[in-house]
Amino acid sequence: MEEELDLTQLKNPELIEQIQDDLYDGLAEEVEEGVHELLSREMTPYDVLTQALVGGMDVVGKDFREGVLFVPEVLMAAKAMKASMTILRPLLVETNAPQVGTVVIGTVKGDIHDIGKNLVAMMMEGAGFEVINLGINNDAESFLDAVRAHNADILSMSALLTTTMPYMDVVINAVKQAGLREKVIVMVGGAPLNAAFAEEIEADAYCRDAAVAVETAKELMKIRRDYAGQSNEQI
Ligand code: B1M
């Protein structure tokens, strides 16, 4: 019979490696246990997220690309990742700053990838933004409705497929047609995107990862606030 591994005996790097292995194997309970153990060692929720979980998912992504893993295995890994993100979410939100703005975020039409998008949403919440998370497979109308309903400052879109990223352009055009483009900051992200694509579709920013998304959102909100202040002074 296989001996049960005592996580408390592992040093941090070994424990992180173990969590990554368990994530790879889609063992949600074991991943959660490892996450709890790292947190009990006072590792910050952000470090647990980026080093153990995102690090593990990178390996899954590489093997998926190379044909070592297939969709069912990747789904199991994604499920394990999501379970642990549920533990980390309230902790990331706790490190909260005052509310800095409202963000509508979603994955675009035709695309069901949501792990990275949810990570961005969590980190934005942690930074003090109110976040309206629309989930996956959103058409332009769904984004527009949410921007209007929540008077959003920022519209964030995620796409993980080269076939779905062009839909961001459709959404931006719909925002323009609705007369909302001057009102809302548009940020985009996802693995196949880059800054040139963001520029081409006239988004305000491309964000490489969740940390960059938070920094960019704060920066753009500040610019907007400073600009509004200047305009008021001129009146
Ligand atoms: Co899919 N998949 N997948 N997949 N999947 C990719 C994206 C792929 C690159 C794998 C590969 O071939 N190597 C490939 C896309 C190829 C391409 O178009 N260039 C691919 C494919 C082909 C597919 C299917 C077509 C497979 C099939 O059915 N034959 C299918 C498509 C389904 C659909 O959407 N219609 C499919 C399905 C799936 C699963 C359902 C099995 C699962 C998704 C589960 C889920 O999300 N709930 C899945 C997964 C897990 C992946 C990989 C392995 C991992 C994605 C992930 O979660 N990464 C992925 C390979 C890879 O990316 N290495 C792959 C971890 C996450 C933290 O990173 O999402 O990049 P990421 O998010 C980052 C940044 O990109 C950024 O910040 C995040 C955090 O730092 N970011 C933003 C993301 N969104 C942002 C929004 C912002 C800002 C930053 O707003 C401002």
Nearest CA to 26 among 64, 98, 83?
Answer: 83
Q: How far apart are the CA of 190 and the centre of ligand 1, in A?
A: 8
- DSSP summary character for residue 68: S
Ligand 1 centre to CA of 214 (Å) is 20
Q: Which residues of 132-169 are buried (b: 16+ CB within 10 A; e: fewer)?
A: bbbebebbbebbbebbeeeebbbbbbbbbbeebbebbb
Report pLDDT for 215.
87
Q: Which structure tokens are listed for 60?
A: 């899954």
| pLDDT digit string (tens) for the chain, length 235 residues | 556 789 999 999 999 999 999 999 999 999 999 999 999 998 998 889 889 988 888 888 788 878 898 888 988 888 898 888 889 888 877 765 456 899 999 999 999 999 989 888 877 876 778 899 999 999 999 999 999 999 999 999 999 999 999 999 999 999 999 999 999 999 999 999 999 999 999 999 999 988 789 889 999 999 988 877 776 666 5
Ligand 1 within 6 A of 68 CB?
Answer: no
DSSP class of 138: B
pLDDT score for 85? 85
Q: Is the CB of 160 under 6 A from ligand 1?
A: yes
With a 6 Å cutoff on the Cβ, whether 210 touches ligand 1 is yes
Q: Which residues contact 28 (CB under 8 A, 6 or more apart)?
A: 79, 80, 83, 84
Q: Which helix (H) or strand (E) holds 232?
A: helix 210-234
Instruction: Specify the ligand 1 atom closest to the Cα of 71.
Output: 41
CB 6 within 8 A of CB 37: no
